[in-house]
Chains A and B, each alone.
Chain A
């Protein structure tokens, strides 16, 4: 199985801050990496697919980059509605695996 390591596990930030979350795969996955946002009591929501493609309807302050084993999710200017937990997920091979999550909090 491909292990996905996310860091940090939590980050304290303020509205307007730039936030960067990293995800490292235990082996190369090309660009088959997705990012999700999950708010308490809700299902995860797809933000980014194939490493850098913004899902329809997702604000442009979210961006993704990377390929191979190292990937980054950036929120350029944190908004109040962005406080949530973020997960990466690799789709390079089955079984699909997720990172452990990054909680973005005030």
Chain B
């Protein structure tokens, strides 16, 4: 069973870059059965998909965030990362990483999530 753990600062200043890492354990990040996903959830609100990356580095982004987002993968460290530039208060959310099953399209395993607040 794959396990995922998000890490990164819990507080980011407006206009700065939000940076998070998701460390994968219990399996290899080069597993072709999965893409690696980021999802976020503003406090008290619903879920928003940010983007996916596969082991080769191919990415898929939400068009609503595409101009500000970069997702990358480091197979040597078995982790993948999220960068969101020029953040505002609207980017305050719980950020989750997850596995996306390529055959079913479902988000099978999730990290516990990390709250990132944007405030000066």
- A residues lining the B interface (CB < 8 Å): 1, 32, 34, 36, 42-46, 49-50, 53, 55, 87, 89-92, 94-101
CB distance from B20 to the nearest CB of A (A): 14
Interface stretch, picked from B8-16, B22-30, B46-54, is: B46-54
Which listed residue, A42, A43, A91, A97, touches B106 by the CB 8 Å rule?
A91
How far apart sit A60 and B47, CA to CA, in the bound complex (Å)?
A: 25
Could you tell me which residues of chain B, from 46 to 65, have a CB within 8 Å of some CB in chain A? 46-49, 52, 60-64
- B residues lining the A interface (CB < 8 Å): 37, 46-49, 52, 60-64, 96, 98, 100-101, 104-113
Query: Is the Cβ of B60 less than 8 Å from the Cβ of A94?
Result: yes
Q: Which residue of A lies closest to B105 (CB)?
A: A91
Q: List A contacts of B96 (CB < 8 A).
A: 43-44
How far apart sit A45 and B108, CA to CA, in the bound complex (Å)?
A: 8
Interface centre among A49, A90, A97 (most CB of B within 10 A): A49
Which listed residue, A32, A46, A50, touches B107 by the CB 8 Å rule?
A46
CB distance from B7 to the nearest CB of A (A): 15
Dominant secondary structure of chain B at its interface with chain A: strand
CB distance from A54 to the nearest CB of B (A): 12
Q: List A contacts of B101 (CB < 8 A).
A: 49
Query: Is the Cβ of A49 less than 8 Å from the Cβ of B113?
Result: no
How far apart sit A39 and B37, CA to CA, in the bound complex (Å)?
A: 20
Interface centre among A32, A45, A95 (most CB of B within 10 A): A95
Which listed residue, B37, B60, B107, touches A36 by the CB 8 Å rule?
B107
Query: Is the Cβ of B106 less than 8 Å from the Cβ of A89?
Result: yes
CB distance from B84 to the nearest CB of A (A): 16
